[in-house]
Amino acid sequence: MSAENSEEPVLQVRGLSVELPKGTDRTYAVEEISYEVRPREIVCLVGESGSGKSVSAFSVMGLLPEGQLTAVAGEVLLQGENILEASEERLRALRCTRMSMIFQEPMTALNPVMTCGDQIDEVLDYHTDMGQAERRAKILDIMEQVRLPDPEKMIDAYPHQLSGGQRQRIMIAMALVLDPVLLIADEPTTALDVTTQAQILKLIKELQTDHGTGVLFITHDFGVVAEIADRVAVMQWGRIVEFGTREDVLSRPREAYTQMLISSVPSMTPRKRGGVTDAKPVLRTRDLNMVYGSSGFLRRDRKVHAAKDVSIEVRRGETLGVVGESGSGKSTVARCIARLIDPTSGEIFIDDDDIARLGVGKLRSHRRRTQIIFQDPYRSLNPRRRIGDSIIEGPTNYGTSVAEAFERARELMALVNLDPNSLDRYPHQFSGGQRQRICIARALAMEPELLIADEAVSALDVSVQAQVLELLDDIREKLDLAMLFITHDLRVAAQVCDRLAVMSKGEVVEYGPAGEIFNNPQHEYTRELFAAAPGRDWEFGKFVA
């Protein structure tokens, strides 16, 4: 194992400090951090947003934004050579030949107007003297190695013709084509679906073993850490608080912060819950269908069946989880139920009223019965309105007096554990987790019967996520709400859902009590999904003394 690997490290970072511009909330983006990556080793840099993990990666590549972030102390040694002192020209020569980097968003990291082949070719053309035929052979070879189907065809494809996973494979091919000693991977699987993520992680691990590459892997996901790391560095507020082997850090963390972080990771084992009740369903859908499509003059018809015969129900006091990968239709279903979009066919019952076909006027009285909490708390609050005004807007629209609505808003703020006196503040004065609490208060202000949480905790850091999840579950219980919980994250679903609906390609492929599905998945796709969850065999938070 690499823990005993005593070879000369390919990367040594010693006492590195990077200064932030004046007027930010702290002086250093990273402060006196030290770590190393040996050949054939994967070091995971893990931490929450703003902990400085990306900055430390970019300083290795010499890609810190000019004039904004400057390395002021320490050294970054790539095979003994100090990157911080290298000239611009020397840095360029090192990039992609000795150190390479892949990024989080494969959708935007490739140039949309160049073919994939050309983008890999650029690396060879710039760094080597190979002739055209030789370069083409090399590109086809590396595309084969990253297991892209039909390289002869892919070489001429444009990025938009590829899936997210395939684009990330192109990025990896580009990064590894010249056999660098160090690969820096900045959250390379965060934007990918869980099954694709599993494939990409496996690929990185295999290639890294074959080529003997040292990998610096940046992630916020302890599942991924458990899956691939040899050693782990935990970052908080620009400092490395703990650095050790995977087993040590995950099972025997020394620092309180590490312990807190790891304990916040939701378990894959479903929590024992009150059990499925026989209460009256608040929401029932029957054969709900949604077809997106456009047809027009001189244009081909394009139709997407985003939801196919979806029949689900949510009872009072119960949480139904809808899980699935991107494009599975889970958000479409949520939006149909809230009537933010009009379903193509089918019925949606809220209590006993079918709202699927109601016109705008008649729908109005039903609107307040269903409320949504959206994914991104940074964009779902109007930045120019005080949060109090955002919260009372709904109730006052339905005739509540302003004074009464404000009184209620104060109560709700207390309910979501925020200071009731901060109603006159603006959204930017709150953190992401606090904003999501405000969104919850805003939804509750309407006194809904059904609360829809559409990926409501996906954008939050793991420690904040745990708190918001707990809050949502508390509120459901206190107010006896029916909750529809949309998520791609199986760990989260395991913690808060009473029943589960697993969606794939617009269809509900498996539907039943969450405990049963987790323990004994029936459908092929569900099993695939569970098998792909990173770190599924690892029980987080069970520390050994």
Partner 1 sequence: MYSFFIRRVLATIPVLGMVAIFVFFMLRMTPGDPAAVLAGDNGTPQQIEEIRESLGLNEPIPIQLGIYLADILRGDLGQSYFFKRDVTELIGLRVEPTLALASTTLILTILVAVPLGVIAAFRRGTWLDRGVMGFSVLGFSIPIFVLGYILMYVFAMELKMFPVQGYKSIFEGFGPFIHRLVLPSIALSVIYIALIARITRASVLEVLGEDYIRTAYAKGLPRRVVLMKHALRNAAIPIVTVIGIGVALLIGGVVVTESVFNIPGLGRLTVDAVLGRDYPTIQALILVFSFTYVFINLMVDLTYTLLDPRIRY
Using CB under 8 A as the binding rule, whether residue 123 contacts partner 1 is answered as yes
Q: Residue 258: enclosing H or E segment and its boundaries?
A: helix 256-263
CA 240 from centroid of its chain's CA atoms: 23
Structure tokens at 47: 């931490």
Size of the site for partner 1 (CB under 8 A): 30
Using CB under 8 A as the binding rule, whether residue 160 contacts partner 1 is answered as yes
Binding segment for partner 1 among 33-41, 73-81, 90-98, 418-426 (CB under 8 A)?
90-98
Give the contact letters, 297-336, x = binds to partner 1 (CB under 8 A), - = no.
Answer: -xx-------------------------------------
Q: What is the DSSP string of 85-122?
A: G--HHHHHHHBTTTEEEE-S-HHHHS-TTS-HHHHHHH
Q: Residue 388: enclosing H or E segment and its boundaries?
A: helix 387-397
Using CB under 8 A as the binding rule, whether residue 108 contacts partner 1 is answered as yes
Using CB under 8 A as the binding rule, whether residue 96 contacts partner 1 is answered as yes
Of residues 123, 98, 105, the one with CA closest to residue 214: 98
Using CB under 8 A as the binding rule, whether residue 103 contacts partner 1 is answered as yes
Find the shortest distance in angstroms from Cβ 67 to partner 1: 9
Binding segment for partner 1 among 108-116, 222-230, 304-312, 316-324 (CB under 8 A)?
108-116
Binding segment for partner 1 among 86-94, 264-272, 346-354, 359-367 (CB under 8 A)?
86-94
Find the shortest distance in angstroms from Cβ 377 to partner 1: 23
Binding segment for partner 1 among 93-101, 209-217, 245-253, 391-399 (CB under 8 A)?
93-101
- Cβ atoms of 511 and 312 within 8 Å: the answer is yes
Q: Residue 214: enclosing H or E segment and its boundaries?
A: strand 214-219
Find the shortest distance in angstroms from Cβ 331 to partner 1: 24
- In terms of CB distance, is 108 or 520 closer to partner 1? 108
- From candidates 2, 79, 158, 252, binder to partner 1 by CB under 8 A: 158
- Cβ atoms of 171 and 110 within 8 Å: the answer is yes
Of residues 162, 107, 173, the one with CA closest to residue 140: 173
- From candidates 93, 260, 358, 509, binder to partner 1 by CB under 8 A: 93
Considering only residues 283 through 302, tell me which ones interact with partner 1, judged by CB under 8 A.
Answer: 298-299
Binding segment for partner 1 among 38-46, 99-107, 233-241, 410-418 (CB under 8 A)?
99-107
Find the shortest distance in angstroms from Cβ 397 to partner 1: 38
Can you tell me which residue has the tokens 């892209």?
A: 148
- In terms of CB distance, is 95 or 220 closer to partner 1? 95
The Cα–Cα gap between 352 and 343 comes to: 18
- In terms of CB distance, is 82 or 111 closer to partner 1? 111
Helix axis angle for 164-176 and 116-127, nearest 10°, is 10
CA angle 363, 356, 397 (to 5 degrees): 20
Q: Which residues pair with 82 in a beta bridge?
A: 77
Longest dimension (CA), the chain: 77
Find the shortest distance in angstroms from Cβ 329 to partner 1: 24
For residue 106, CA distances in Å to 153, 170, 185, 361 come to 19, 9, 12, 44
Find the shortest distance in angstroms from Cβ 57 to partner 1: 11
- In terms of CB distance, is 32 or 122 closer to partner 1? 122
Q: Which residues pair with 43 in a beta bridge?
A: 216, 231
Using CB under 8 A as the binding rule, whether residue 369 contacts partner 1 is answered as no
HSE of 185, CA atoms in CB hemisphere, 13 A = 36
Binding segment for partner 1 among 118-126, 146-154, 197-205, 450-458 (CB under 8 A)?
118-126
Helix axis angle for 432-444 and 402-415, nearest 10°, is 130
Considering only residues 23 through 42, tell me which ones interact with partner 1, judged by CB under 8 A.
Answer: none
The Cα–Cα gap between 120 and 87 comes to: 25
Can you tell me which residue has the tokens 């402060």?
A: 31
Using CB under 8 A as the binding rule, whether residue 86 contacts partner 1 is answered as no
Binding segment for partner 1 among 47-55, 70-78, 102-110, 307-315 (CB under 8 A)?
102-110
Considering only residues 170 through 189, tell me which ones interact with partner 1, judged by CB under 8 A.
Answer: 171, 174
Q: Residue 405: enclosing H or E segment and its boundaries?
A: helix 402-415
Type of residue found at 326:
S
Residues of the shown chain interacting with partner 1 in the complex, contacts defined by CB under 8 A? 61, 63, 91-97, 100-101, 103, 105, 108-114, 122-123, 126-127, 158, 160, 171, 174, 298-299
